[in-house]
Amino acid sequence: TQLLEQSPQFLSIQEGENLTVYCNSSSVFSSLQWYRQEPGEGPVLLVTVVTGGEVKKLKRLTFQFGDARKDSSLHITAAQPGDTGLYLCAGARSGGYQKVTFGTGTKLQVIP
Amino acid sequence: SAVISQKPSRDICQRGTSLTIQCQVDSQVTMMFWYRQQPGQSLTLIATANQGSEATYESGFVIDKFPISRPNLTFSTLTVSNMSPEDSSIYLCSVVVGSGVYNEQFFGPGTRLTVL
């Protein structure tokens, strides 16, 4: 079983602070995705990274794929209450679309 | 993209009964999946719903407990049979759109099931 461990599990911060969420595995993935899920909703795709070392920015969110494609990070600058939610990373194996492996999840709360 | 609706959005059921969850997609998709999620936790894949053939179940999930139908490319149902309180969870339908590494996975809003 390929495991994707996320850290931290829970994070409660004040509005305006910065934070980083990590997603680590011993397995290599062909691509890695980040999702955000709000209560009562399904996860929503934020970004897909496919190249080792790749960095993608989405407004205040910066995503990085590790050089060896085994890990990833999500950095949020100046967090807003609207960033509150469950963040999930998900890794896909090579050879066309395969069932993704979801990470353990990071629950973020941004306090106004 | 894909817009997915699920019915019901939530239900409270008695143990020993069965509940069928419906998933409707606004476009034809090949790959459709059913997941289970405890609130605030990660997703566990139950099965892949195949159109025209039996669903493919993950380890720990069996057809007798979670029968799945996939009559066409826009619709699927998941039944939770002979329910027990341990089946209380959020059940999510999901589809994949696109091909290659840039395919996108879309999720329905989920069905929150409570078994008493």
Averaged over A33-62, what is the pLDDT? 94
Residue B64 contacts A, CB cutoff 8 Å: no
Q: Could you tell me which of B37, B64, B61 has the C-alpha nearest to residue B47?
A: B61
Write out chain B's pLDDT in tens, 116 residues.
889 999 999 999 999 999 999 999 999 998 899 999 998 899 999 999 988 888 999 999 999 999 999 999 999 999 999 999 999 999 999 998 877 667 788 999 999 999 99
Averaged over A28-50, what is the pLDDT? 92
User: Which tokens hold the place of A88?
Assistant: 């999930």
pLDDT of residue B70: 95
Cβ atoms of B11 and B20 within 8 Å: the answer is: no
User: Which tokens hold the place of A92?
Assistant: 């896909």
Among positive and negative, which fits the CA dihedral B51, B54, B57, B63?
positive
Nearest CB neighbour to A102, from listed B42, B48, B112: B42
Q: Find residues 45-74 of chain A whose CB sits inside 8 Å of chain B.
A: 45, 48, 50
Residue B42, min C-alpha distance to chain A (Å): 5
Cα–Cα dist A109/A19, whole Å: 11
Token look-up 């999946």 returns B33
pLDDT of residue A97: 52
Residue B109 contacts A, CB cutoff 8 Å: yes
User: Which tokens hold the place of B87?
Assistant: 């089946």
Cα–Cα dist B47/B63, whole Å: 9
For residue range A50-86, what is the model confidence (pLDDT) as tens digits? 999 999 999 999 999 999 999 999 999 999 999 999 9
Residue A92, min C-alpha distance to chain B (Å): 8
At A93, the pLDDT band (50, 70, 90 cuts) reads: confident
Cα–Cα dist A94/B62, whole Å: 27
pLDDT of residue A95: 55
Q: How far from A55 is each of A7, A61, A65, CA to CA, in Å?
A: 19, 10, 7
B99 contacts A96? CB cut-off 8 A? yes
A99 contacts B105? CB cut-off 8 A? no
Q: Could you tell me which of A27, A23, A28 has the C-alpha nearest to residue A9?
A: A23
Token look-up 């069965």 returns B18
pLDDT of residue A83: 96
Residue B108 contacts A, CB cutoff 8 Å: yes
Q: How far from A84 is each of A7, A12, A15, A111, B25, CA to CA, in Å?
A: 16, 9, 10, 9, 27
pLDDT of residue B1: 82
At A2, the pLDDT band (50, 70, 90 cuts) reads: low
Residue A78, min C-alpha distance to chain B (Å): 23
The four Cα atoms A27, A32, A33, A39 give a dihedral, to 10 degrees, of 10
A97 contacts B108? CB cut-off 8 A? no
Which residues, 6+ apart, have CB-to-CB distance to B60 below 8 Å? none
